[in-house]
Amino acid sequence: MGKRFVIGSVGALCVILAVVLANPPNAAAHGEAADEPFLKNMTTAFFNVSVSPTEIEVGEPVRVTGSVKILETWPHTLETPEIASIMPVVPGPVFVLKERFVNGTAAIGSFFAQKGGIYEFEMELVGKEPGDWHVHPGIAVYGTGTLIGPGEWVTVKPSDEPFSFPLTLMSGETIELSTYGGAFVWWWSFAGFVLGFIWILYWTTNKRTVTNLAVTVQLPVNDDAPDIGLITPRDHMWMNVIVGVTLVMLVVGWTYATSNAPVRWPQQTDWFTPEFISSGEKMAEARASGATYDEASETLEMKVQVTNVIQSDIALKQLTIAMATFVNGPEAEQAKAGPSDFVGRLEVQPDGPIAPGENKELTLTISSSIFSEERLIPTQAPQQFIGAVLRFENGNDGHEFVTVRSNVVPTQFRSTYLP
Amino acid sequence: MATETTTVTDLAEAAERQRRLELKELLNKKYKWIDWKWDLVFWTTAVFVVAGAADITKQLFAGDWDFWTDWKDPQWWPVVTAFATIIIPSTLQYIQWTAWRFPTGATYTACCLFFAAWVGRYFQWDLAATYPMNFVWPASVVCAGILMDWTLMKTKSFILTSLIGAHVWAIAVWAYNYVPLAAFLQPAHFMDHVVTVADVQGIAYIRSQTPEYLRLIERGALRSFLGETQYVSLAFAGTAAFVGYWIGQFIGRYLAVWPIRRYLKTM
Ligand SMILES: [Cu+2]
């Protein structure tokens, strides 16, 4: 190993370290910012999400409701969505999940999903561990992983009552799920360990161990040499006793377990096709004709061609990109649109109603730090696209969700030396 | 001629008897520096290496099946567990039997694994991640270890142990752990469904990154043999354990013992 090699290696290491330290990934508290933008904005849109209440005691419920749409713009680089599961995304089981409905059906497992499908969820969580927890709804899609919606901080305060999870069996007995069967599992396993430990102690204390090698290397491997004293009839006798005890223990344990739980089922599975939820009354045709993104001011500007196809005025009220919703309306309306960290203002130019039959080009402008915090907009990616869901309203409670897809061009091209 | 042959045979037998007497003496020879304290240090140090190897192998091949009660199903769990857990016990059987003629390798590994698995589950899963122990308890293979070591002691053959012992292993691992599992297979009413207690644990104790569709369990299929999945699975588990046993032997022979011999020869 030459001096030059050492210097070269140290040099290379310094360069690598410099590169790593100079480009810190823009990671937010919950990890989803680390995902590529296309994985969020082209796959799903979460809207009308609500997490409430945001302050509870241990043992009290929190409801997580909302909708997620699997977008028609689903990236071709991911497997086509077919099976999905709605789940709370929280830091471990700090809550327990007591209820879950997808499009009105109680969902114990997964469901069949498809591009364009809208899934309305309703989950009830019960606080288990005290602390401040960030609670998101998420949708796990087979082949892709868990895609998360907007999050809300929930404070779980300690309670005078310890956490409990009563569960009623079909036999009528009510058990405490937090601890049920736990002591038996431990003592049963420990009893087996004791038998094994006795087996080991017998051999290691009655016999020389390491020095036996001097003898065994001179014998064939299937010679247990009772005459020499390696394994004696006495050893056989005691080992037979331990094996006998083991078998008795198995039989006794089995008899106890099966009489204690005479009715046993295989684990259950239920995958279903959720009822269809319409994206609303047909009222608008919309097509994006390009977008720009200014990184410095975190401003997205998108041009959309809209045609009103019904007999009354319509207006564009909301735009959802992944887990963020932008509202064309006052603060009060924004507050209703979802968890505040994931809601912003949508500016529509020209604003105002679109008359029946009218075709209009709208310029949508959004300035929001969510873009960089959640890394929603691609600036130098192989797929320079964003997907978004527009919500049109007709003034008498009718609405329609329309998905648009647009390529997005940064307003400044940064020159970079490193990739 | 006849008498001469007899004499030669007698001589050979006498020599062999003499050799074995010498070996007996060698077995009981007093060594100055290698006494029971040396043994104790050796066995105790080995605990961590063996526990680590066994635990990593189990997590690699049977991770989720061992972590959660709702994965401990009739079809997959017996097969993957038998296969994953027999590998290192087989290695240790080879080492301890050939080196010291102890039928202890499998039991020793099982005891080490018991220690590692419970420590890991308790500190990482229960205390740190707050999953209750009755949901994340590890399967125990000590009973199977005793029966397989006993098989080796009786047969004195790795081939016979792999043929008989592997099936004994598969059945014993399943039967021993089915005893505590039974209570978790009772049906209960939850979320408008009748599901097992284990299912309730799997749904209620949130695993954000392990969605339900990833659970590899018996879901009912044409090939479930008149509903007798369990027995077909156990038969296959024995075969899988046989394969695992020989992987373990390979590790023992060529990755553990052979390099040591090479090293000793260079000294
Ligand atoms: Cu979060």
Mean pLDDT throughout B3-10?
A: 72
CATH class, B46-265 region? mainly alpha
pLDDT confidence of residue A12: 65
**Band of residue B259 on the pLDDT scale cut at 50, 70, 90:** confident
Does the distance separating the beta carbons of B188 and A167 come in below 8 Å?
Answer: yes
- The answer to whether residues A142 and A196 belong to one domain is no
Does the distance separating the beta carbons of B104 and A175 come in below 8 Å?
Answer: no
| A186 chain-B contacts, CB cut-off 8 A | 118, 133, 137
A142 and A84 Cβ atoms separated by less than 8 Å:
yes
pLDDT confidence of residue A27: 36
Q: Is residue A267 part of a domain?
A: no
**pLDDT at A4 > cutoff 70:** no
Across chain A, mean pLDDT equals 92
Does the distance separating the beta carbons of A243 and B189 come in below 8 Å?
Answer: no
A129 and A165 Cβ atoms separated by less than 8 Å:
no
Does the distance separating the beta carbons of A170 and B206 come in below 8 Å?
Answer: no
pLDDT digits (tens, 9 = 90+) for A105-131: 999 999 999 999 999 999 999 999 999
pLDDT digits (tens, 9 = 90+) for B16-48: 999 999 999 898 888 877 777 888 888 889 999
- The answer to whether residues A120 and A152 belong to one domain is yes
pLDDT confidence of residue A209: 80
- The answer to whether residues A91 and A118 belong to one domain is yes
pLDDT confidence of residue B101: 94
Q: What's the CATH number where A121 sits?
A: 2.60.120.570
pLDDT confidence of residue A21: 54
Cα of A88 from ligand 1 centre, angstroms: 11
**ipTM of the shown complex:** 0.93
- The answer to whether residues A311 and A225 belong to one domain is no
Cα of A323 from ligand 1 centre, angstroms: 11
> Whose CA is closest to A416, among A19, A16, A31?
A19
Helices B229-250 and B166-181: crossing angle, nearest 10°? 130
Mean pLDDT throughout A60-68?
A: 98
Cα of A134 from ligand 1 centre, angstroms: 5
Q: Backbone dihedral region of B182: left (phi > 0), alpha (psi from -120 to 50 degrees) or beta?
A: alpha
Does the distance separating the beta carbons of B73 and A209 come in below 8 Å?
Answer: no
**Band of residue A24 on the pLDDT scale cut at 50, 70, 90:** very low
pLDDT confidence of residue A7: 65
Structural domain that includes position A122: 32-169
- Does A382 or A255 have the greater pLDDT score? A255
Across chain B, mean pLDDT equals 91
CA pair distance A322, A76, nearest whole angstrom:
17
Range of lowest pLDDT (A6-15, B46-55, B117-126, B141-150): A6-15
Range of lowest pLDDT (A180-184, A332-336, B42-46, B151-155): B42-46
pTM, rounded to two decimals: 0.89
Q: Is residue A276 part of a domain?
A: no
Q: Is residue A278 part of a domain?
A: no
Q: Is residue A415 part of a domain?
A: no
Quote the number of domains for chain A.
Answer: 3
Q: Is residue A372 part of a domain?
A: yes
**pLDDT at B116 > cutoff 70:** yes
Mean pLDDT throughout B189-207?
A: 97
Does the distance separating the beta carbons of B183 and A90 come in below 8 Å?
Answer: no
Number of CB pairs < 8 Å for A and B? 304
Q: How far is A10 from chain B (nearest CA, A)?
A: 33
pLDDT confidence of residue A26: 38
| A224 chain-B contacts, CB cut-off 8 A | 101, 153, 156
pLDDT digits (tens, 9 = 90+) for A277-297: 999 989 999 999 999 999 999
Range of lowest pLDDT (A186-195, A275-284, B176-185): A275-284
**pLDDT at B257 > cutoff 80:** no
Q: Identify from B208, B210, B215 which residue to disrupt to test chain A contact, counting A C-beta atoms within 10 A and taking the largest count.
A: B208
Q: Is residue A4 part of a domain?
A: no
Question: Per DSSP, which regions of A236-384 are E strands?
Answer: 284-294, 299-308, 315-321, 324-327, 343-345, 347-349, 359-367
CA pair distance B107, A394, nearest whole angstrom:
74
| A218 chain-B contacts, CB cut-off 8 A | 19, 23
Mean pLDDT throughout A229-235?
A: 95
pLDDT confidence of residue B38: 80
Flag whether residue A204 sits within 8 Å of chain B, measured between CB atoms.
yes
Flag whether residue A260 sits within 8 Å of chain B, measured between CB atoms.
yes
Q: How far is A369 from chain B (nearest CA, A)?
A: 26
Q: Is residue A6 part of a domain?
A: no
Cα of A312 from ligand 1 centre, angstroms: 41
pLDDT confidence of residue B225: 66
- The answer to whether residues A139 and A210 belong to one domain is no
- The answer to whether residues A70 and A98 belong to one domain is yes
pLDDT digits (tens, 9 = 90+) for A325-380: 999 999 999 999 999 999 999 999 999 899 999 999 999 999 999 999 999 999 88
Flag whether residue A87 sits within 8 Å of chain B, measured between CB atoms.
yes
pLDDT digits (tens, 9 = 90+) for A10-23: 666 666 666 555 54
Does the distance separating the beta carbons of B98 and A96 come in below 8 Å?
Answer: no
CA pair distance B169, B266, nearest whole angstrom:
39
- The answer to whether residues A403 and A323 belong to one domain is yes
- The answer to whether residues A365 and A324 belong to one domain is yes
- The answer to whether residues A94 and A205 belong to one domain is no
pLDDT confidence of residue A9: 66
Q: Containing H/E element for A163? A: none
- The answer to whether residues A139 and A74 belong to one domain is yes
- The answer to whether residues A63 and A134 belong to one domain is yes
Contacts of B66 (CB under 8 A, 6+ apart): B58, B59, B81, B117, B138, B139
pLDDT confidence of residue A418: 79
- The answer to whether residues A193 and A158 belong to one domain is no
Cα of A86 from ligand 1 centre, angstroms: 16
pLDDT digits (tens, 9 = 90+) for B226-248: 778 888 899 999 999 999 999 99
